Amino acid sequence: MNLQLALDRLTREQCLEILEETSDTIDWIEVGTGVIKEYGMAIIKEIRAAYPAKTIVADMKTCDAGKHEAEQAFRSGADITTVMAFSADKTITDMLEVADQYGGRVMVDLLGVQARSEVLHLKELGVDLVSLHFGKDMQQTGKMGDDAFSLVDDIYGIDCAVAGGINVRSLPMVMEYQPDTIIVGSAITNQENKKEAARQIKEVIETNEKNH
Ligand SMILES: O=C(CO)[C@H](O)[C@H](O)COP(=O)(O)O
């Protein structure tokens, strides 16, 4: 199970500092949407150069112009780029095609998706990686429930990541569903000791995996 560190609402310097502290603990680096909007593709290139062996997720949250945005992400060194599930089929299939050319992957963000049929449709399009996402603003009025997982339950052939305010306390509930990737942002990046926060989260993941 991968631990994906989400770098959101941070300066370039903070991103690099946090990576220095946590890179030996985390598996995937997510360059957050806001960070990309602030610094453009340059921040992805810089992180790629600094961490050549890490999997980099560019959280582009593309919703149109899929071919162009996927090319931007992969050319900058991303291994995975994201697209919103509500996008046109053509946006998603174009991105899958570009991903194939670059040997990369597309993660479809299920923010706002209510029906399993939508996930089944994504699978028919060729999608093999989705993220269950309880958004930042939604976190202000609620928290992710285990009903979120009913969207992907028993759908085989699709890897699943999960994101949305996950911390060391909520992690055991999330892990019951055995997602492929756990995405954690603020529960690491907002902590005083980020290295220790990442280590604790990784430890819970590894302990849970051993006992499963
Ligand atoms: O995509 C995101 C925000 O749009 C974040 O990656 C995701 O929400 C994880 O961050 P946090 O753990 O702070 O919720």
**Average pLDDT, rounded, for the chain:** 95
Residue 108, pLDDT > 90, answer yes
Please work out whether the CB of residue 163 comes within 6 Å of at least one atom of ligand 1. Answer: yes
Look at ligand 1, atom 12, and give the residue with the nearest C-alpha. Answer: 185
Residue 143, pLDDT > 80, answer no
Please work out whether the CB of residue 8 comes within 6 Å of at least one atom of ligand 1. Answer: yes
The residue ranges of every structural domain in the chain are: 2-211
The ipTM, to two decimals, is 0.94
Please work out whether the CB of residue 77 comes within 6 Å of at least one atom of ligand 1. Answer: no
Calculate how far, in angstroms, residue 30's C-alpha sits from the geometric centre of ligand 1. 9
Distance from C-alpha of 176 to C-alpha of 134, rounded to nearest angstrom: 17
CATH of 2-211, one of 3.30.1490.20, 3.40.190.10, 3.20.20.70, 1.10.1740.10: 3.20.20.70
**Per-residue confidence at 7, pLDDT binned at 50, 70, 90?**
very high
Residue 142, pLDDT > 90, answer no
Please work out whether the CB of residue 30 comes within 6 Å of at least one atom of ligand 1. Answer: yes
Of residues 136 and 200, the one with the higher pLDDT is 200
Give me the DSSP letters along 61-91: EE-S-HHHHHHHHHHTT-SEEEEETTS-HHH
Residue 33, pLDDT > 90, answer yes
Residue 169, pLDDT > 80, answer yes
pLDDT of residue 144: 76
Average pLDDT rounded to a whole number, residues 23-39: 98
Please work out whether the CB of residue 9 comes within 6 Å of at least one atom of ligand 1. Answer: no
Calculate how far, in angstroms, residue 124's C-alpha sits from the geometric centre of ligand 1. 27
pLDDT of residue 154: 85
Look at ligand 1, atom 10, and give the residue with the nearest C-alpha. Answer: 185
Please work out whether the CB of residue 71 comes within 6 Å of at least one atom of ligand 1. Answer: no
The DSSP code for 129 is E
Q: In 9-65, where does DSSP find H-type helix?
A: 12-22, 33-39, 41-50
Distance from C-alpha of 56 to C-alpha of 59, rounded to nearest angstrom: 9
Long-range Cβ contacts of 70-76 (<8 Å, 24+ apart): 70/94, 70/95, 70/98, 70/99, 70/104, 70/106, 71/98, 72/41, 73/41, 73/44, 73/104, 74/98, 74/99, 74/101, 74/102, 74/104, 75/41, 75/102, 76/41, 76/44, 76/45, 76/48
Residue 145, pLDDT > 80, answer no
**Per-residue confidence at 198, pLDDT binned at 50, 70, 90?**
very high
3-state class of 165 per DSSP? coil
Please work out whether the CB of residue 36 comes within 6 Å of at least one atom of ligand 1. Answer: no
**Per-residue confidence at 160, pLDDT binned at 50, 70, 90?**
very high
Which pTM does this prediction carry? 0.96
Residue 146, pLDDT > 90, answer no
Calculate how far, in angstroms, residue 212's C-alpha sits from the geometric centre of ligand 1. 26
